[in-house]
Structure 1
Amino acid sequence: MTALGFLYPGHSAEDDYQRIEQMLGSDIRLDLVHTDIGEDAHRVDALLEMGSADRLAAGVEELRLCGAEAVVWACTSGSFVYGWEGAHEQVRALARAAGMPASSTSFAFVHAVRELGVRRVAIGATYPADVAELFAEFLRAAGIEVTGLHGAGIITAAEVGEWSEEEVAALAQDSDQADAEALLLPDTALHTASSIASLEEQLAKPVLTANQVSVWEALRLTTRKVNAPILGRLFRREPLVQA
């Protein structure tokens, strides 16, 4: 059994993790602890408070008791808002508090893009334009070219969590760019687990979504590899060759 821990802000699309656990269909357990978000707002000051060290540290004891082997701060905006260096310090502090390997969804996107071997991406963000631009800057700091950035202007995670699959598909379609090698949907409040395969078929390119890459990142931290094509190209592995 591989136990993976996630600190998830508030309540919006946390059921994606239950779906992903079922889709993995293996001896992998996803343990999720909700953090106190303070004010639900895609606004820089609120996001900085949401991702503060004290708020994250408060949830790690429960994950330790669950037997988690790694922890991911499952919040994109609450990590990239600190900038490249600040986000590194955030996960270092989280690792110290948790006593286990740690990362965040923002770094999960960077590592997933590198895993796919792509350099040019388009972004379909639910956030207001200024917050969406901070994510683009974070990716550029990692050497990733952003060919297009679309912000939907949604202020609260609660509203994003109510989006239908049709609205997610429309965001993806509106955000895609012909010269982008992959599309990124960076909000963990967005339900996407059931839509990734259809989105990739629709756009004919890899689609990376926040909850998907968060799980993949936790697996990466534990060096666990899983073949689950239903979760998109990121989870597609060649089948083992039997001797």
Structure 2
Amino acid sequence: MDVSFLGGPQPQRGVGIVAPFDFALDRELWRWVPDDVSLHLTRTPFVPVEVSLDLARLVSEHETLHEAVLALTAVAPETVAYACTSGSFVGGIAGERAMTAAMEQAGEVPALTTSGAVLEALRELDARRVAVVTPYTKSVTDSLEEFLAEAGIAVTGRSYLGLTSHIWRVPYRDVVDMAREAAVDAPDALFISCTNLPTYDVIPQLEAELRMPVLSANQVTMWAALRRVGVQAVGPYQALLDPVARSGPAAMAPDPGPSPAADHGPPLADAVPPQSTPEAALAGADLEGGGEPLDAYDPLYPPSGPDDRGGGAQPAG
């Protein structure tokens, strides 16, 4: 059969992604990408070190990034992003800028890092007071807070898990619990750190419940990378991506009521306005990386207690 009338595949825009060797959420990145854009991923070399400040430095050495970006030039991406939050904030603002410059020199295309994208997104939302959620240990979380402070961003509250491995296995319900703990003292936005922490499906639901913009590492990375090539990231009712969402529940003042410790409020799936998200988001279905609906019990990953979070919610400083 003659299929010449099909004319071949449609032209694709290319975005290069350098990820740490243990990155496990390739499919989550793709969920923010429109059909006419392809992601070209490569990983840094394996190093036998747990998630820590030492690992953040090792996977972010300029020589390592140079080699990774150089490999991506074979498929001619229009921009390159380093998808690692801790690896791009561990050296402070100067370290992040030097990293971006090294990547641009290697690939001769615009480059960015996740931590640089975080600051760009916070500026876009005019957010100067943020709550922070991380899967990291205290020392890595402290380093993130120092990076934000250097950029003039105050951390009003934070919550962290204290993990050193297998971060991609954290279920959505743990992310939700941390968000509720951290979102105190009326921040302008909530930031969920770590590109290996699943967040896609919980963002619109948390925005509806907490009534503030919610940013995540993978979300801001893809938003900024696609912005570099003049393409809009896609996503269900997320304030960073959608002006309608930005003026909706995310823009409302937090609902006064019982403290989070006393009452976590209605289930997130019920908190989302019916007109705001696709039906799958409303039902809490297809929770990629999180496994089951938010309130489901998973015997392999039971709900973490305060001790498992390195002390739970922490005050700024």
TM-score, length-normalised on structure 2?
Answer: 0.69
Q: Indicate the residue corresponding to 1:109 in structure 2.
A: 118
**Distance of 1:34 and 1:231 partners within structure 2:** 30
On the 8 A contact 2:222/2:233 being kept in 1, the answer is no
Q: Which has the higher helix share?
A: 1
**Distance of 2:218 and 2:14 partners within structure 1:** 16
CA RMSD of aligned residues (A): 1.7
Q: Indicate the residue corresponding to 1:133 in structure 2.
A: 142
On the 8 A contact 1:228/1:237 being kept in 2, the answer is no
TM-score, length-normalised on structure 1?
Answer: 0.89
1:45-60 correspondence to structure 2 within 5 Å: 45-60=54-69
Confirm or deny that 1:165 pairs with 2:172.
yes
Give how far 1:37 is off.
4.2
On the 8 A contact 2:29/2:218 being kept in 1, the answer is yes
Q: Indicate the residue corresponding to 2:198 in structure 1.
A: 191
Letter in 1 for 2:201: S
Higher relative contact order (CA 8 A, sep 6+): 1
SS of equivalent to 2:130: strand
Give how far 1:32 is off.
1.6
**Distance of 1:38 and 1:99 partners within structure 2:** 27
Larger Rg: 2
Q: Indicate the residue corresponding to 2:37 in structure 1.
A: 28
Give how far 1:91 is off.
1.2
Letter in 1 for 2:104: A
**Distance of 1:227 and 1:32 partners within structure 2:** 17
Give how far 1:198 is off.
1.5
Q: Indicate the residue corresponding to 2:261 in structure 1.
A: none
1:193-232 correspondence to structure 2 within 5 Å: 193-222=200-229, 224-226=230-232, 228-230=234-236, 232=238
- Identical pairs, percent: 31
Q: Indicate the residue corresponding to 2:14 in structure 1.
A: 3
Q: 1:186 and 1:37, CA in 2 relative to 1: closer, same or farther beyond 3 A?
A: farther
**1:68-116: CA deviations, max 9, x gaps?**
1111110000111111112211111111111111110001100000001
Letter in 2 for 1:19: R
Confirm or deny that 1:77 pairs with 2:86.
yes
1:82-101 correspondence to structure 2 within 5 Å: 82-101=91-110
Unaligned residue ranges in structure 1 (runs of 5+): 239-243
**Distance of 1:71 and 1:201 partners within structure 2:** 32
**1:119-139: CA deviations, max 9, x gaps?**
110101111111111111111
Q: Indicate the residue corresponding to 1:241 in structure 2.
A: none
Letter in 1 for 2:159: H
Give how far 1:144 is off.
1.2
**60, 64, 71: which one aligns with 1:62:** 71
